[in-house]
Amino acid sequence: MSQIIHVLTGPTAVGKTELALRWAEVNAAEIVSCDALLFYRGMDIGTAKPTEAERARVPHHLIDLCEVRERMDVAHYVTKAQATVADIIARRRKVLVTGGSGFYLKAFFAPVADAVAVSADLRAEIEGKLEAEGLSALVAELHGLNPGGLGGLDTDNPRRVTRALERCRASGKTIFELADEFARQPAPFAGWQVVCTRLDRERDELERRITARVDAMLATGLVAEVTRLRAAGLEDNPSAARAIGYRETLSMLDGVLPEAELADEIVKNTRALVKKQRTWFRTQLPDHRVVAAGTSVVEALF
C-alpha cells in the first residue's frame, strides 16, 4: 500500500460528511477527523458530529478523544494522527482525512508545533498572572525576554501572548530563535504524498444549508446539549466554550441573548466563520483541487 493521504476539506455545511463516507466505502478507506471540536465527547449536535450510523458505515478516528473540560492541542493531535495513519496503512486500508479546522488540517502539509515542552505548573503560573495582572503584564514580560522585539506577534490576543511567553520561559530562547528552529523542522507527514480536494458551493446555496443546519441542531436538542456540557465543565475549556453554537447558547442560557434571536445569531456567526475558512483555504493550503459539492461524484473527488 503506497503512502498516500487523501484530504477532503471545505467550509462548514458544504457537505463533506456524506461525500467522505461514500468515497471511503468505495475505496476501502478509513476516515481521520481534523475537526477541532469532534475531539470532545458530548459535543455532538452543535458540531454535526458523524452519527453512530455513519460511523458504522466507515471506521472513524480521532473523534471523542477527551472530556469537554480537557484541552486538546495540535501537538497531541499530530502524535495521534501519525500513529493512526500508520496503523491504517499497515492494515492495507486507504486514509481519508476530512474536516475544516485549518490549524489541524495544516499538520498534514507543514510543521504546526514546536518541540518545546511546557509544564503544567508553568502554564498555570502564567494563566494566573494573566488573570491577576492582565494581558499588559504578560506583554511586558515578553518584551523583557525578547530585547530584539516580538516580531509579528498579535499582542492583543491573550492566547497568542500566553503561548509565546510559555515557550520563551520554558526554553530560555527568544521568539526569533524559536521561530528559526520551527522553520527548520520537518513537517509531521514529510515523505508522505498528500492529495487534497476542497469542496465548495455557491454562496446562496451554502447560506441556505447553514440555516437548515442550525434549525436542525436546535430542533434536535442543542440547548439541552449545552446545558448538560456546562454542568460537565464546558466553560473550563475556552476553545470549546467559544465554539459557534455553544457560545451563543451559553449567552442565551445566561439571559444575555433572547431565545428568539438564538438561531439567527448562530447563523450569522457561522456565515462569518465560512468567510474566514474560505480565505484560509485559498491562502494557506498548497495546490489542490476545488470541486463543486452539489454536482460532484465520488469517483471525481481525487
Residues 236-280: pLDDT tens digits? Answer: 998 899 999 999 999 999 999 999 999 999 999 999 999 999 999
CA distances from 185 to 78, 115, 116, 180, 255 (A): 14, 9, 12, 9, 48
Which segments of the chain are extended strands (E)? 4-9, 29-33, 60-61, 94-98, 193-200, 289-292
Same domain, 103 and 37: yes
Q: What is the pTM of this model?
A: 0.85
Q: Assign residue 153 the CATH number of its domain.
A: 1.10.20.140
Q: How many domains does the chain have?
A: 3
Residues 290 and 195 in one domain: yes
Q: What is the CA radius of gyration of the chain?
A: 20
8 A C-beta contact, residue 166 and residue 122: yes
Q: Are 109 and 32 contained in the same domain?
A: yes
The CATH code of the domain that includes 268 is 1.10.287.890
Q: Are 48 and 194 part of one and the same domain?
A: yes
Q: Quick one: 20 and 94 in the same domain? A: yes
Percent of the chain with pLDDT over 70: 99
Q: Are residues 103 and 130 in the same domain?
A: no
* 132 and 194 part of one domain: no
Taking only the tens place, the pLDDT of each residue in 37-58 is 999 999 999 999 999 999 999 9
The residue among 253, 267, 188, 257 whose CA lies nearest residue 223 is 253
Structural domain boundaries, residue 270: 204-275
Distance CA(86)–CA(89), nearest Å, equals 5
Grid coordinates of 186: 520537518
* In the predicted structure, residue 2 carries a pLDDT above the cut 70: no
Tens digit of each residue's pLDDT (9 = 90 or more) over 84-143: 999 999 999 999 999 989 989 999 999 887 778 889 899 999 999 999 999 999 999 999
> Cα(256)–Cα(250) distance, rounded to whole angstroms?
9
Looking at the structure, do residues 35 and 68 belong to the same domain, yes or no?
yes
- Rounded to whole angstroms, how far apart are CA atoms 197 and 100? 12
